[in-house]
């Protein structure tokens, strides 16, 4: 599988803005989630756990400053995260599954939501909800959606975040299809993508293959 991923990345000349987190814990948990027999509660728990491992990767270069503190032993200048509180933006509804785990790790993050549905006639994403933190211009903004499939809704969500002032945006997903990565690269080459896996392709219904099915349905137990 690792070799497959490497080959696929090479084939599509892996864009610099794509990071695949190939950590064994991430890959193990992802395999459990892909299994169609995984119960809803387990799926949700694994998504929460993976979201924290992906969050670790996507925040690894956050700027730090130093604060003078007293440990029980001595005084020291210790690192703390610098700058404005970052913004986590969930692309509804499946984004909430990633958001919950990330908020446990970054409890002071500001939170936004983008709701989009697909117009059946034009097949284009239409906004039905948009609420984001203030001062996006000066915050690192991490948009989250488990599945980067066609890329249409992710691109539209990032369009909206840019219109709202966001300048430093990253995108975090669980699974990506080559089609979605290409679409994002074309529309938003400045937005780095972090994912647990780059799958083979989309099928005729727009599902990622091999994928894990409908992420929203699997995490919320709907059909």
Residues that bind ligand URA (CB under 6 A): 94, 147, 149, 206-208, 211, 214-216
Minimum Å gap between C-beta 194 and ligand URA is 18
Residue 187, annotated as binding a ligand:
no
- Give the CB-side neighbour count of residue 55, counting CA atoms within 13 A: 27
Strands 87-91 and 140-144: parallel
Minimum Å gap between C-beta 150 and ligand URA is 8
Minimum Å gap between C-beta 22 and ligand URA is 21
Count of CB atoms situated within 10 Å of the CB of 52: 16
Nearer to ligand URA, 15 or 213 (CB): 213
Residue 67, annotated as binding a ligand:
no
Residue 150, annotated as binding a ligand:
yes
Given a contact cutoff of 8 angstroms between Cβ atoms, the answer to whether 30 and 204 are in contact is no
3-class secondary structure, 191: coil
Residue 147, annotated as binding a ligand:
yes
Supply the residues annotated as catalytic. 118, 122, 214, 217
DSSP letters, 85-126, are: PPEEEEETTTHHHHHHHHHHHSTT-EEEEEEEEE-TTT--EE
Nearer to ligand URA, 34 or 85 (CB): 34
Nearer to ligand URA, 166 or 176 (CB): 176
Strands (E) in 1-159, as ranges, are 18-20, 64-70, 75-81, 87-91, 110-118, 125-131, 140-144, 147-148
Q: How far is CA 24 from its chain centroid?
A: 19
Nearer to ligand URA, 59 or 195 (CB): 195
Residue 118, annotated as binding a ligand:
yes
Minimum Å gap between C-beta 147 and ligand URA is 4
* Residues near 201 by beta carbon (within 8 Å), at least 6 away in sequence: 177, 178, 179, 208, 209
> Residues annotated as binding site for 5-phospho-alpha-D-ribose 1-diphosphate?
93, 118, 145-153, 214
> Residues annotated as binding site?
93, 118, 145-153, 208, 213-215
> Residues annotated as binding site for uracil?
208, 213-215
């Amino acid at each position: 599988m690792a070799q497959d991923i490497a080959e696929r990345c090479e084939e599509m000349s892996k864009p610099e803005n794509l990071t695949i987190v190939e950590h064994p814990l991430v890959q193990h948990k992802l395999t459990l989630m892909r299994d169609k027999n995984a119960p809803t509660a387990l799926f949700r728990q694994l998504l929460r756990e993976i979201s924290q491992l992906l969050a670790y990767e996507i925040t690894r270069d956050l700027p730090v400053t130093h604060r003078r503190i007293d440990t029980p032993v001595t005084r020291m200048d210790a690192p703390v995260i610098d700058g404005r509180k970052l913004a986590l933006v969930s692309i509804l509804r499946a984004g909430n599954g990633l958001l919950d785990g990330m908020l446990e790790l970054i409890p002071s993050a500001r939170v936004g939501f983008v709701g989009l549905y697909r117009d059946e006639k034009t097949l284009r994403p239409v906004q039905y909800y948009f609420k984001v933190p203030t001062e996006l211009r000066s915050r690192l903004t991490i948009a989250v959606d488990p599945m980067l499939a066609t890329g249409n809704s992710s691109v539209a969500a990032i369009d909206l975040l840019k219109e709202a002032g966001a300048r430093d945006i990253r995108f975090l997903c669980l699974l990506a299809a080559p089609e979605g990565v290409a679409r994002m690269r074309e529309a938003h080459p400045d937005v780095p993508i972090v994912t647990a896996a780059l799958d083979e392709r989309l099928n005729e219904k727009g599902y990622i293959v091999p994928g894990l099915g409908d992420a929203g349905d699997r995490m919320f137990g709907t059909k």
